[in-house]
C-alpha cells in the first residue's frame, strides 16, 4: 500500500489564475493521488485566484485545506505555516505556476522508500510560456554522497520538485528567511543534521521560467543576499573560507553582467 502524502503549495496575488489552475490540475492528475492538498494564501489574493480556489474546493470535497494569511509574508513564512497544516508525514512541494508530470509522486514515493531518504527531488525542465517551449534542463546529483559534495557549491535539490519528511524539516529548523536562498538553507540544515537525500534522474516537473526569473538574479540587492547567505554557510562550518571567497566572486560576476548573458551562463555553465 502506498503511503499517503500531503501537497504543499503557496500562492500570492501576483500569480496568474490560468497558471495556478494548471499547476493544481497536474497534481489532481497524478497516478498516485494525494489525500491532503494544502494551499497557503500568502496574503489577500486577486479575484481570479480566489475563483480557482472556489472551483477546485467545490469539485473535490474534503481534499483541500486552504490556509489564509492576512498579510504577504514571503515564501519562507508561508511554507512554514503550510508544513504545520499538513496532516501526513510525507510532503510534496508544488509551486503555483509549475506542472508536475503525472507520475512524479509515484516515482518519488518509490525512491524515498527504496533509498530510505528524508528528502527526494528530481531533474526538471524549464519552459517559457507554453510547456512545449522548453529552454533547459536542471540536473542534480543522484546519490547522497554526491548531493553533500554538490551542496558546497550550489543548491543540491530542485525546490519545485521536492518531496520531504515533515519530521526531518521540523528537526532541521524549518525554512529560514534567507531571501532567494530559503530552500538552499534548509537543505544544508537537513544534510548537517544527517538526513539523507536522493534525486530521481528523470525530469519529473516542468518549471515555468523566463527573462524575469533571471533578472531577479542580478543587481545590488541580490549580491547582498548572496553575501549574507554564503557568510552564514561559512559561519556554521559547512564551507571553508576559501570556498566562501570563490563562491562570492563567481556569483557576484554573474549578478552584474547583462541579463541575456546571465541567462546564457546559467544554461551553459551553471546548469546542464
Q: State whether 201 and 266 are in the same domain.
A: no
Rounded CA-CA distance 141/155 in Å is 10
Whole-angstrom CA distances from 17 to 20, 45, 79, 84 are 5, 10, 20, 26
Is 91 within 8 Å of 164 (Cβ atoms)? yes
Provide the residue range defining the domain that includes 262.
215-270
Q: State whether 163 and 149 are in the same domain.
A: yes
pTM over 0.85: yes
Q: State whether 140 and 71 are in the same domain.
A: yes
State which of 172, 187, 209 marks the end of a domain: 209
- For cell 500569480, the residue is 15
Question: Residue 104 contacts by C-beta under 8 Å, 6 or more apart in sequence?
Answer: 30, 92, 122, 161, 204, 205
Q: State whether 42 and 145 are in the same domain.
A: yes
| Strand-pair category, 119-127 with 197-208 | parallel
Q: State whether 238 and 122 are in the same domain.
A: no
What tens digit of pLDDT does each residue of 207-263 get? Answer: 998 655 555 555 678 889 999 999 999 999 999 999 999 888 877 776 766 555 545
State which of 166, 193, 209 marks the end of a domain: 209
Mean pLDDT of 69-73: 97
CATH of the domain at 121: 3.90.550.10
Whole-angstrom CA distances from 219 to 5, 94, 160, 213 are 39, 28, 24, 13
Mean pLDDT of 22-36: 98
What tens digit of pLDDT does each residue of 144-187 get? Answer: 999 999 999 999 999 999 999 999 999 999 999 898 999 999 99
126: left (phi over 0), alpha (psi -120 to 50) or beta: beta
Cα 175-179-180 angle, rounded to 5 deg: 95
Amino acid at each position: 500500500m502506498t503511503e499517503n502524502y500531503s501537497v504543499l503549495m503557496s500562492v500570492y496575488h501576483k500569480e496568474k489564475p490560468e497558471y495556478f489552475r494548471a499547476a493544481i490540475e497536474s497534481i489532481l492528475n497524478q497516478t498516485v493521488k494525494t489525500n491532503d492538498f494544502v494551499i497557503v494564501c500568502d496574503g489577500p489574493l486577486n479575484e481570479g485566484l480566489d475563483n480557482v480556489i472556489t472551483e477546485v474546493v467545490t469539485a473535490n470535497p474534503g481534499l483541500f485545506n486552504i490556509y489564509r494569511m492576512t498579510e504577504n509574508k514571503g515564501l519562507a513564512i508561508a511554507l512554514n505555516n503550510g508544513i504545520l497544516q499538513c496532516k501526513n508525514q510525507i510532503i510534496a512541494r508544488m509551486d503555483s505556476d509549475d506542472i508536475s508530470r503525472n507520475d512524479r509522486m509515484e516515482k518519488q514515493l518509490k525512491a524515498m522508500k527504496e533509498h530510505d531518504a528524508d528528502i527526494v527531488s528530481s531533474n526538471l525542465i524549464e519552459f517559457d510560456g507554453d510547456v512545449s517551449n522548453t529552454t533547459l534542463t536542471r540536473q542534480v546529483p543522484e546519490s547522497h554522497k554526491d548531493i553533500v559534495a554538490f551542496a558546497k557549491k550550489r543548491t543540491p535539490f530542485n525546490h519545485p520538485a521536492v518531496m520531504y519528511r515533515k519530521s526531518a524539516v521540523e528537526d532541521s529548523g524549518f525554512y529560514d528567511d534567507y531571501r532567494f536562498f530559503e530552500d538552499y538553507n534548509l537543505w544544508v540544515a537537513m544534510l548537517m543534521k544527517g538526513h539523507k537525500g536522493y534525486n530521481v534522474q528523470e525530469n519529473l516537473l516542468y518549471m515555468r521560467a523566463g527573462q524575469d526569473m533571471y533578472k531577479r538574479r542580478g543587481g545590488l540587492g541580490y549580491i547582498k543576499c548572496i553575501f549574507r547567505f554564503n557568510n552564514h554557510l561559512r559561519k556554521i562550518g559547512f564551507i571553508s573560507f576559501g570556498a566562501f571567497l570563490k563562491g562570492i566572486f563567481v556569483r557576484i560576476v554573474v549578478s552584474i553582467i547583462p541579463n541575456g548573458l546571465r541567462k546564457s551562463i546559467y544554461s551553459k555553465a551553471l546548469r546542464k
